[in-house]
Chains A and B, each alone.
Chain A
């Protein structure tokens, strides 16, 4: 039986843990709201971009001079995996879900005899993948200590990827991130970036055929990198929102577990206290009887 004092100490320590986790939950909830607003604000641009891509891509995809970003390099030997996870932990399985998926994909591709390169975005993504796949890492980016993520950050990553493509460092590029489905559900998803998947339904909503100025190809050469940046920006924002959602859930659970623990410890404490009193009483009574 632990002593009363040690029980008291434990109860207090669990209580302060609970205070911390419940505070973290509040903070995550308010950051989540901001992240969600940011993700929503980015939506109109992405939608219109997709519409333009649809009407442009369809007209160029068939031609032999179509840009690499759209049709790829023609082979699929070298795969670049961009794994996007959070910069911080304490968010349940959020980060390791992405890591596990990236690792699975890497193993699968290598089993097929392909070369894998990994670009890790987010500190936790790097930490996770570095353990087993360090030799495949070609770089990592993180936003530690940054208040918010801007489009410029996504653009920088996109530029790096485009540079690597032109240098012939990979053939296919896939991004792995947590899709934000709802506050409690983030689904690890893989999304192909290069060759760019064209939106389905040829010229969806294109009741009018557009004139292009300048010609389609020049246009596409500009539109594709921008589209890549937008896709990455979306992945970053969804990761950001998903991270806080996941952290909120994790901290909520932790707060509840701490509550359960406090209840159990308090019960033990009270039992021990009562046992002490009873013992003392018995001692007094039997002492009095003996006299």
Chain B
């Protein structure tokens, strides 16, 4: 039984189709979702969303972060930004990584919120560089 997957960015509906399994880059580790998963709302870090059909990866998308709502029959990904793996630009990733690292260094070390945000951006940018390299 397939699970309905939807990937939405603020600018448009990117993808909507049934897949066998989807692997999400959840905040606390990668997470595979099959049909019948218990209802969850998860935070996503920067990483790859993998779509499986017939036991194989059919499509990969890079997301820079976002949220996912999982119900037994549906997965909705609210991505801040999503790009098909083939179109991820390494240069852009490196640029962001540098900017995020600079922000992290400049951030006030006592402000946990700011530090966390900068750390997330570093992670997200790293995932982008890796995605481009793969």
| A interface, CB within 8 angstroms of B | 38, 41-42, 44-46, 48-49, 51-52, 55-56, 150-151, 154, 166, 208-214, 218-219, 221-223, 226, 229-230, 233
Tell which of A38, A151, A211, A214 touches B28, judged by Cβ atoms closer than 8 Å.
Answer: A214
Do A52 and B67 touch (CB < 8 A)?
Answer: yes
Instruction: State whether A214 and B27 are in contact (beta carbons under 8 Å apart), knowing that A42-B11, A230-B10 are contacts in the complex.
Output: yes
Do A52 and B26 touch (CB < 8 A)?
Answer: no
CB neighbours (8 Å) of B84 from chain A are none
CB neighbours (8 Å) of A154 from chain B are 10
CB neighbours (8 Å) of A49 from chain B are 78
28 contacts between A and B (CB under 8 A): A38-B11, A41-B12, A41-B13, A44-B13, A45-B9, A45-B11, A45-B13, A48-B69, A48-B78, A52-B69, A52-B78, A56-B41, A151-B10, A166-B113, A208-B39, A208-B72, A211-B38, A211-B39, A212-B40, A212-B41, A213-B26, A213-B28, A213-B42, A214-B27, A219-B67, A222-B43, A222-B67, A223-B67
> B10-55: which residues lie under 8 A (CB-CB) from chain A?
10-13, 26-28, 38-43
For residue B71, CB closer than 8 A to chain A, the reply is yes
Closest 4 CB pairs of A and B: A208-B39, A151-B10, A41-B12, A45-B8
CB neighbours (8 Å) of B43 from chain A are 213-214, 218-219, 222
| B interface, CB within 8 angstroms of A | 6, 8-13, 26-28, 38-43, 67, 69, 71-72, 76, 78, 80, 113
Do B12 and A55 touch (CB < 8 A)?
Answer: no
CB neighbours (8 Å) of A229 from chain B are 10
Q: Which of A56, A212, A221, A222 counts the most B-chain CB atoms under 10 A from its CB?
A: A222
CB neighbours (8 Å) of B113 from chain A are 166, 221
CB neighbours (8 Å) of B13 from chain A are 41, 44-45
Interface of A: prevailing SS: helix
Do B41 and A210 touch (CB < 8 A)?
Answer: yes
